């Protein structure tokens, strides 16, 4: 995680891995890392006392930074979400050729990075459904940066690329919410996204 300098975390726009004060950063990151490790077992595996024990930080201090379990969970898996998106971007940047035909591969590679850690994905999705006021505010900014992970989206043109990003966002989020409640399999979510990408490609290449 980044140890970005920040004097305060009162701004809702700051990334979730930034501590309220620079001197608290190392301890803050230990809390988030412990939460991510526990969340590999799903959202129910994350309890404040377990986080305190795993991180070596006093329980009262954990509550000082995060007033609720839902707030802590959302910040931690939000940081994980950003890290996975950066990995997807790095994988796409390693592709030597660019073209609309590359779009499906770029998208699916990014999706698979999320799907390979189902416990964390479930924790992230369920954390966005919390009624905790801090989470309600933060989830307004929940997104998957498809444009960064999939440079070929730019070939659709600015307006179509924005529409495609919105469509992929809605499809992935709705699918993973349904999966988190046992309504579909992750393979179904992946296939639905693949079909959406297919439609985007056909639409962009049709005369």
User: What is the domain range of residue 156?
Assistant: 96-205
Is residue 19 pLDDT above 80, yes or no?
A: no
Quote the CA–CA distance of 179 and 124 in Å, as a whole number. 12
pLDDT of residue 5: 31
Residue 159 in tokens: 């307006």
Q: Give domain status of residue 176, yes or no.
A: yes
pLDDT band at 7 (very low <50, low <70, confident <90, very high): very low
Q: In the predicted model, is pLDDT for residue 98 greater than 80?
A: no
HSE (side-chain half, CA atoms, 13 Å) at 133: 1
What is the chain's alpha carbon radius of gyration, rounded to the nearest angstrom?
Answer: 18
Q: Say yes or no to pLDDT of 86 above 90.
A: no
Contacts 24+ apart (CB under 8 A), 190-199: 190/108, 190/111, 190/112, 190/115, 193/107, 193/108, 193/111, 193/168, 194/104, 194/107, 194/108, 196/167, 196/168, 196/171, 197/103, 197/104, 197/107, 197/108, 197/168, 198/104
Please tell me the distance from the alpha carbon of residue 137 to that of residue 191, in angstroms, as a whole number.
31
In a domain, 134, yes or no: yes
Distance CA 111, CA 21 (A): 34
Q: Which residues contact 16 (CB under 8 A, 6 or more apart)?
A: 32, 74, 75, 76, 78, 79, 82, 138
Residue 144 lies in a domain: yes
- Domain membership of residue 40 (yes or no) is no
- Mean pLDDT of the 103-132 span: 89
Binned at pLDDT 50, 70 and 90, residue 36 comes out as: very high
Residues 102/153, Cβ–Cβ less than 8 Å: no
Decide if 166 is inside a domain.
yes
Return the axis-axis angle of helices 103-115 and 186-205, rounded to nearest 10°: 160
Would 44 be classed as within a structural domain? no
Q: What is the pLDDT of residue 73?
A: 93
138 vs 62, which has greater pLDDT? 62
- What would the mean pLDDT of 158-170 be, rounded to a whole number? 86
Domain count, the chain: 1
Q: Which comes out higher in pLDDT, residue 10 or 13? A: 13
Which phi and psi (to 5°) does residue 6 adopt?
A: -155, 135
pLDDT at 70: 93
Where do runs of H (alpha helix) occur along the chain? 25-39, 48-55, 59-65, 69-93, 103-115, 118-127, 133-138, 146-149, 158-180, 186-205
pLDDT category of residue 81 using cuts at 50, 70 and 90: confident
Taking phi over 0 as left and psi of -120 to 50 as alpha, with beta for the rest, 169 belongs to: alpha
Q: What is the largest CA-CA distance in the chain?
A: 64
State the average pLDDT for the chain. 82
């Amino acid at each position: 995680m980044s140890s970005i300098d920040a004097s305060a975390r009162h701004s809702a726009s700051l990334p979730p891995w930034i501590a309220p004060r620079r001197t608290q950063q190392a301890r803050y990151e230990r809390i988030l890392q412990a939460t991510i490790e526990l969340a590999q077992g799903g959202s129910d595996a994350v309890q404040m006392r377990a986080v305190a024990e795993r991180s070596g930080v006093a329980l009262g201090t954990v509550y000082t930074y995060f007033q609720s379990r839902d707030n802590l969970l959302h910040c931690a898996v939000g940081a994980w979400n950003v890290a996975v998106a950066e990995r997807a971007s790095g994988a796409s940047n390693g592709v030597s050729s660019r073209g609309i035909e590359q779009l499906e591969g770029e998208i699916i590679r990014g999706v698979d990075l999320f799907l390979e850690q189902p416990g964390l994905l479930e924790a992230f999705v369920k954390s966005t459904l919390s009624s905790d006021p801090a989470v309600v505010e933060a989830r307004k900014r929940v997104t998957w940066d498809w444009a960064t992970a999939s440079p070929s989206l730019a070939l659709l043109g600015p307006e179509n690329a924005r529409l495609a990003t919105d469509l992929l966002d809605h499809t992935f989020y709705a699918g993973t919410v349904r999966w988190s409640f046992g309504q579909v399999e992750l393979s179904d979510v992946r296939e639905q996204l693949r079909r959406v990408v297919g439609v985007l490609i056909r639409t962009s290449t049709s005369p």
